[in-house]
A = this chain, B = another copy of it.
Amino acid sequence: MARWNKSVLNPEQQRSLKLEVLYKVAAAAFRRNGYHGTSLIDIADILGVSKATLYYYVKNKQDLLFQCHLAAADQALETICTDPSLNGLERLRRSLVAYVISIIGEDSFSVVILEERSLSDEQLRVVIEKRDAFERRLQDVVRTGVTDGSILRCDPKFAVFSVLGAANWVTKWHRPEGAWTIDEIAQASAALLCRGLAAGPLPSYPSNRLYGDQQP
């Protein structure tokens, strides 16, 4: 990736395109080395730009992290499935598949694995509020499942914590060059986790060599 990775040539949205690339690169670097372990020079080098240039786009390093958090929160919210024709369990499964893909995919802004103490109090407040909103939406999906009988009776908050934990952790061990594709991982994770919450007879998931492949 060099020089903003030639992000097209629009006059007006140039800036927001560059910002998006910057956030993705920063998030990826933060994920790898941690917030404090990543210098702005690291990020500038990846973009083929000088450190001073970055300050034309972001207020400071802390704000850069904050922006990553905000972008990631929006990205996460989009993964929630609310299709009313599906039961709670299937909505949860689809949400998880989408979520895992979003956080380990090429376009991830995810910075959930980072220590949160790097943000200011006010920034942290906002981020936590947004994250809570996401988690509450997922909890609602679980509650729907409990009500419609597809999900076992449980504490939705705890269930979401567990399920998101396994999902978020994927960013720690997933290697793009590894044997498993992103889609495989997402499907298998969702299948395993949903099975842990499923109430009745388990729905049959698509065949997957990581999990859920029922043939001998």
A residues touching B (Cβ–Cβ < 8 Å)? Answer: 32-37, 113-115, 117-118, 152-155, 158-159, 161-170, 172-173, 180, 185, 188-189, 192-197, 209-214, 216
Residues of B close to A169: CB separation below 8 A: 161-162, 164-166, 168-169
A213 vs B152: C-alpha distance in the bound complex, in angstroms? 9
- From the candidates B37, B193, B212, B214, name the one contacting A118 in the complex (CB within 8 A): B37
A158 vs B208: C-alpha distance in the bound complex, in angstroms? 12
Q: How many copies does the complex hold?
A: 2
Of chain B, the residue at the smallest CB distance from A118 is B37
Binding site secondary structure of chain A = helix
Of chain B, the residue at the smallest CB distance from A30 is B115
State how many angstroms separate the Cβ of A211 from the closest Cβ of chain B.
5
A123 vs B8: C-alpha distance in the bound complex, in angstroms? 43
Q: Do B37 and A117 have beta carbons less than 8 Å apart? A: yes
Residues of B close to A173: CB separation below 8 A: 161, 165
Residues of B close to A152: CB separation below 8 A: 211
Of chain B, the residue at the smallest CB distance from A171 is B165
Of chain B, the residue at the smallest CB distance from A184 is B158
State how many angstroms separate the Cβ of A191 from the closest Cβ of chain B.
8
Residues of B close to A115: CB separation below 8 A: 32-34, 37
State how many angstroms separate the Cβ of A188 from the closest Cβ of chain B.
6
State how many angstroms separate the Cβ of A202 from the closest Cβ of chain B.
10
